[in-house]
Amino acid sequence: MTMEHTESPRGLALSLLLRSEKEKTYSNIALDKLLSASSMSRVDKNLTSVLFYGVIERRLTLDWYIKKYASRSLEEIDLHTMCALRLGMYQLIYCDKIPPHAAINETVELCPKKTRGFVNAILRSYLRSPDDSLPTNDGSAEYLSVAYSVCTPLAKKLIEEFGFEDAEKYLKATFDPPSTTLRVNTLKTARDELLKRIPDGIPSEYSENGIYVKGAVRELYGFDEGLFFVQDDASQLCVETVNAKAGETVLDICACPGSKSFGMAIDMRNSGKVLSFDLHENKLSLVKSGAERLGINIIETSAADGRIRREELVGIADKILCDVPCSGFGVLAKKPELRYKSPSDSERLPDIQLAILENVADYLKDGGTLVYSTCTVFSDENENNIKRFLEKRDDFALCPFTVGGIECTDGYITLLPHVHRKDGFFIAKLKRK
């Protein structure tokens, strides 16, 4: 692919698609890196993002359509050509504002010469007689897989957890464009004041310090001054559940990239101590730099494995946030590559999560609060883990709470995209007796 092609939105999108297929990189990291090095206009960068994310998100559905028009099996098509076909078909089916002939011609130009005719024929066949019909909805995981572009094991797991009807609603909601949500740094400003300087900002319906925005966050008023940081509503509600107060000692067990530590430190009015731990020491620099930008100086970072006991921490914490590593299936809208990950790949996680929870529970003072959270929606990692923990620890109990206007009478809640219009997220609140 020539540099001229690469520096076009379709060319850059195609190169990213090829890289993601070959290297299995996280889409957001690969995209940010290439766009930051590109000299394209903001409009072209936005188009690149739409095409790249869109193709990843709809990959299995696009393959269903391509199969209808291809003269050979999909397995016989080389990767470069297949990615180009997906890119072209995505524009024709999902991008109303892109002229079809421009979509076809520019996509064909990105193909190897030997397959240009093949790609051109498929895309023009669709244009002549478009067939957007999906397989018959027979209530099966196979239907959900094609219609909502997720691997069949994931579709089966969702049906097992929620039933077919809610599984379909869940997957449909993952196509809603994810909003970027800011948490206002109330150490420096108030939400109403910041909204005056961000004309397109909309107050969050759940978090009293949240703002929904569009566009590049770094270009917004107040970024360099540390007036806000990016944090989804669900994560903000998790921090609100901790209810950290000035002067307390609070532990954030799996802290990186740091937004929950920042939120708790702000709730504490930058008074007290937040100890932020993470398994990967190299990631802790994100917490340090973020705290510096926000003007927070009560956060102390340290590399640690949450499963390994540290005697100096026993009994010191007023509050603990245990946001454990998880399968991430609550954030399909933001990490579309997870649509093709089988839940069986994460079957070891519940035991790891429970080991972390059991270990850090001893760091809490009597009468203290521990919040356990994940960004997934599956019970094995969520309420079942809490049940397993409580069976071993009779000095802990679930504590009913209200957050974001939602009453959580059981002491835990699973936020769902199709119900709460937020990331899928689990929050449980425990008290030490």
Here the tokens at position 429 are 């609140």
Q: What is the DSSP letter of 371?
A: E
151 classed as catalytic: no
Number of other CB atoms surrounding residue 42 within 10 Å: 11
Residue among 181, 353, 161, 352 nearest 263 (CA): 181
For 406, 412, 413, the CA distances from 401, given in Å and listed in that order, are 8, 8, 10
- Specify the 3-state DSSP secondary structure of 205: coil
Q: Which residues have a Cβ under 8 Å from the Cβ of 421 and sit 6 or more positions away?
A: 173, 176
The CA distance from 247 to 393, in Å, is: 28
The CA distance from 362 to 114, in Å, is: 65
Q: Which residues have a Cβ under 8 Å from the Cβ of 18 and sit 6 or more positions away?
A: 79, 80, 83
Task: Check 254, 256, 322, 375 and give the catalytic one.
Answer: 375
The CA distance from 130 to 125, in Å, is: 8
Residue 202's φ and ψ, nearest 5 degrees, are -125, 130
- Specify the 3-state DSSP secondary structure of 70: coil
CA angle 65, 71, 76 (to 5 degrees): 90
Give the catalytic positions in this structure: 375
